[in-house]
């Protein structure tokens, strides 16, 4: 968050009105999307969690009073930070966001000291405790903790958000816009405008009626769309039939369980214990590895994870050629508003058994491209409006489909310039995703040319996490070696 008191008497800077206008409109809708409503209503924490936690390592501890003032300013500007969820009496529509009349910054902003136990391992232990603690669902769905007393006088900022508020990319957008580009004070920052009484109606009966009108309006739009499709079918019946069959076939592939045998080593799991671990590497090295194999950063990242899990299975004498994996695919367009959630989940059988990292990257490229061309990739947009009008147990059953996969992996761009939180510089960032039924959630976030990888591990599924992390590091190292210059006269093939 942007600082509020100067480091020096003359540290006065102006602000960019366009930036703050974008911040104020961040995730500006007063109603959840259908996808967000599904995540909210189907959550059964911790086994089907929607908690996202991001760990920011700071070069020093900011002044606490300045830090508090910065958050007070930020939450006045971003309406969602002071809003709670209000459900209709009946599931006539997704829930709405309403300003919490009892909002207390002191509840959401906390302060912790590591004391003598001040290593990275100790910090991760505290972070996993924070992540595993469920949200109070009657309050705004965020918590932030400043952790002081790290080695060398450094500090950490642990930001926890519910997935119904935004996705990982939306989190980084928010931090980037609210953070300062200088240690010094940013003067003349505007504050948010209080909502009008009309916008603040949170009476359950009124919300139910509004929800019914919302659903009827959407139904009308869908009917008009169906009429348009019918008219097109009359003009080109053969083409319409072909598209219908193509979409139907794609829908069966997308909704069917992935054609891979789940790993016996990653079961049983109940997610009652979360274990957080980290990996890191240079973005240039990971990108170079992807390019050598004709793939992308994402392909190299997935190949590294699969290489680590292949080693882990070898240690335990289990041989698997494929592993069921889920990968979130961003559906954001350049003109989409910031915040919110815009993604689809792709489930597939990943080539874990390929020993050569170069071949594994190339194979991953083919698998991912095949998923991106599926017409029914965003099938959740068709299913969730129906499920959300039924009891929440239906949505919870849908969410359990992700438990058919063993690994979920996501990567996203992060900060590309120095950002300061109340005068403290962000040095490293590690994202930790939820455990929606999978054994391992892996998230990669780039920050100033470096990749921070956060692993959320179901402790009930793995009791030898140190062995796993050794294998994962080896899997990452072998992929990075693909992209590094090799000795003259040697060849990989």
Helix (H, G, I), strand (E, B) or coil at 110: strand
Peptide bond into 268 cis (omega under 30): yes
Q: 479: exposed, middle or buried (C-beta count within 10 Å: 0-12, 13-18, 19+)? A: buried
Which H/E stretch holds residue 425? Answer: strand 424-432
Strands 440-447 vs 424-432: parallel, antiparallel or unpaired: unpaired
The size of the chain, in residues, is 493
Quick one: pLDDT at residue 351?
96
C-beta atoms surrounding 210 within 10 Å: 18
Contacts of 102 (CB under 8 A, 6+ apart): none
Question: Which segments of the chain have a pLDDT < 50?
Answer: 1-14, 196-198, 222, 224-226, 229, 486-493
List, for residues 218-261, the tens digit of each pLDDT value: 655 545 444 554 555 566 666 656 666 665 665 566 666 667 88
pLDDT at residue number 429? 96
Neighbouring-strand partners of residue 440: 407, 457
**Residue 126 near residue 114, CB atoms below 8 Å:** yes
pLDDT value of position 381 = 67
- DSSP state at residue 427: E
Compute φ and ψ for 145, nearest 5 degrees.
-130, 125
> How much is the pLDDT for 234?
62
> Are 139 and 160 within 8 A, CB to CB?
no
Q: Residue 159: how many CB atoms within 10 A of its CB?
A: 19
Q: Are 277 and 473 in contact (CB under 8 A)?
A: no
Question: Using CA atoms, how far apart are residues 433 and 410, in angstroms rounded to an integer?
Answer: 9
Q: pLDDT value at position 385?
A: 75
Question: What span, in angstroms and rounded, lies between the C-alpha atoms of 302 and 310?
Answer: 12
Residue 81's alpha-carbon distances to 85, 102, 263, in angstroms, are 11, 13, 40
Cα–Cα distance for residue pair 265/256, rounded to 1 Å? 23
Catalytic positions, please? Answer: 163
How many Å apart are CA 147 and CA 200, to the nearest integer? 35
Which pLDDT score is estimated for 157?
A: 97
CA distances from 325 to 258, 259, 292, 439, 449 (A): 8, 10, 24, 10, 27
Q: What is the pLDDT of residue 230?
A: 56
- The C-alpha atoms of residue 263 and residue 243 are separated, in whole angstroms, by 36
Q: Spell 90-104 as b/e; 16+ CB within 10 A means b.
A: ebbbbbbbbbbeeee
Q: What burial class does residue 8 get, using C-beta atoms within 10 Å of its C-beta: 0-12 exposed, 13-18 middle, 19+ buried?
A: exposed
């Amino acid at each position: 968050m942007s600082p509020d008191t100067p480091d020096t008497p003359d540290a006065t800077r102006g602000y960019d009105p366009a930036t703050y206008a974008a911040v104020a409109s961040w995730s500006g809708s007063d109603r959840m999307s259908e996808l967000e409503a599904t995540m909210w209503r189907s959550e059964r924490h911790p086994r089907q969690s929607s908690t996202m936690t991001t760990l920011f390592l700071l070069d020093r501890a900011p002044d606490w009073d300045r830090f508090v003032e910065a958050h007070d300013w930020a939450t006045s500007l971003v309406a969602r930070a002071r809003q709670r969820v209000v459900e209709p009496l009946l599931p006539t529509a997704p829930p709405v966001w309403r300003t919490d009349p009892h909002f207390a910054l002191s509840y959401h902003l906390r302060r912790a000291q590591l004391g003598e136990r001040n290593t990275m391992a100790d910090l991760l232990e505290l972070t996993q405790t924070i992540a595993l603690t469920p949200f109070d669902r009657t309050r705004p769905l965020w918590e932030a903790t400043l952790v002081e007393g790290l080695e060398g006088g450094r500090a950490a900022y642990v930001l926890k958000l519910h997935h119904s508020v935004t996705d990982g990319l939306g989190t980084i957008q928010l931090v980037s816009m609210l953070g300062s580009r200088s240690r010094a004070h940013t003067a003349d920052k505007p504050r948010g405008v209080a909502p009008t009484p009309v916008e603040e109606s949170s009476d359950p009966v009124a919300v139910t009626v509004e929800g019914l009108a919302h659903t009827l309006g959407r139904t009308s739009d869908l009917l008009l769309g169906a009429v348009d499709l019918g008219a097109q079918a009359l003009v080109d019946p053969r083409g319409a039939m072909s598209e219908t069959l193509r979409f139907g076939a794609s829908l069966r592939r997308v909704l069917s369980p992935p054609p891979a045998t789940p790993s016996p080593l990653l079961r049983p799991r109940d997610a009652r214990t979360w274990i957080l671990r980290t990996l890191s590497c240079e973005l240039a090295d990971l990108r170079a590895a992807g390019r050598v194999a004709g793939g992308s950063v994402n392909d190299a990242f997935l190949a590294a994870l699969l290489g680590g899990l292949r080693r882990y299975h070898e240690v335990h004498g289990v041989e698997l050629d494929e592993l069921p994996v889920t990968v979130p695919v961003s559906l954001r367009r350049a003109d989409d508003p910031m915040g919110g959630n815009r993604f689809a989940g792709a489930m597939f059988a990943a080539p874990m058994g390929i020993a050569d990292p170069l071949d594994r990257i190339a194979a991953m490229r083919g698998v991912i491209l095949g998923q991106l061309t599926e017409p029914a990739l965003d099938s959740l947009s068709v299913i969730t409006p129906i499920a959300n009008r039924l009891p929440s147990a239906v949505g919870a059953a849908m969410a359990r489909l992700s438990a058919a996969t063993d690994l979920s992996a996501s990567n996203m761009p992060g900060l590309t310039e120095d950002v300061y939180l109340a005068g403290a510089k962000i040095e490293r960032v590690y994202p930790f995703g939820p455990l929606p039924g999978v054994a391992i959630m892996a998230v990669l976030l780039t920050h100033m040319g470096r990749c921070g990888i956060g692993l959320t591990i179901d402790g009930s599924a793995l009791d030898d996490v140190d062995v796993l992390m050794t294998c994962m590091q080896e899997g990452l190292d072998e992929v990075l070696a693909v992209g590094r210059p090799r000795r003259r006269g040697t060849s990989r093939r």
